[in-house]
Amino acid sequence: MKTKTVTDFLKKVSLVALAFLSFNAIAQEEESESTVEKLLSKVNLSGSVDGYYRYNIGAPNRGIDPSGAGEDNGAYEFLAPTTSFANKSGFALGMANIILGYEGEKVGFVADLVFGPRGEDAVFLSEGSAQVVNQLYAYWNVSEKVKLTVGNFNTFLGYEVISPAGNFNYSTSYMFSYGPFSHTGLKADFTLNEKWSAMLAVMNPTDYTESNPFDTYIIGAQLGYAADSGSAYLNFRYGNEGEPGEVGPTFQVDLTTGWDATEDFYLGVNATYLSTEDQGDGDASGFYGVALYPQYKTSEKFTIGLRGEYFAEYNNALGAVGLDDEGDGSVFAATLTGSYDIGDLTLKPELRLDSTSEDSFVDNDLEPTKSLSSFVLGAVYKF
pLDDT tens, residue by residue, 125-153: 777 666 799 999 999 999 999 999 999 99
The residues that bridge with 334 in the sheet, in sequence order, are 308, 353
Residues in Cβ contact with 232 at an 8 Å cutoff, skipping those fewer than 6 apart: 224, 225, 255, 256, 257
**Residue 155: which H helix or E strand, with range?**
none
Which of the residue ranges 18-27, 56-65, 215-224, 290-299 would you say has the lowest mean pLDDT? 18-27
Query: Is pLDDT above 50 for 337?
Result: yes
**What value does the mean pLDDT take over residues 20-36?**
55
pLDDT at 246: 73
CA distance 185 to 152: 7
Give the distance, in angstroms, between the CA of residue 59 and the centroid of all CA atoms in the same chain. 30
pLDDT at 9: 44
pLDDT at 38: 66
More confident position, 379 or 76: 379
| Region at 247 (left for phi over 0; alpha for psi -120 to 50; beta for the rest) | beta
Residue 311 near residue 292, CB atoms below 8 Å? no
Query: Is pLDDT above 70 for 13?
Result: no
Residue 287 near residue 313, CB atoms below 8 Å? yes
Q: What is the pLDDT of residues 82-132, one digit of tens each?
A: 999 999 999 999 999 999 999 998 999 999 999 999 999 999 877 766 679
Residue 137 near residue 152, CB atoms below 8 Å? yes
Query: Is pLDDT above 70 for 154?
Result: yes
Q: Please give the C-alpha separations between residue 89 and each of 48, 81, 324, in angstroms, as whole numbers.
A: 22, 12, 28
pLDDT at 1: 47
Per-residue three-class SS string for 51-116:
EEEEEEECCCCCCECCCCCCCCCCCCECCCCCCCCCCCCEEEEEEEEEEEEEECCCEEEEEEEEEC
pLDDT band of residue 5 (cuts 50, 70, 90) is very low
Q: How wide is the angle at C-alpha 263 spanned by C-alphas 262 and 269, nearest 5°?
A: 55
Query: Is pLDDT above 50 for 71?
Result: no
pLDDT at 32: 57
Q: 34: exposed, middle or buried (C-beta count within 10 Å: 0-12, 13-18, 19+)?
A: exposed
Longest dimension (CA), the chain: 119
pLDDT at 247: 76
Residue 83 near residue 174, CB atoms below 8 Å? yes
pLDDT at 30: 54
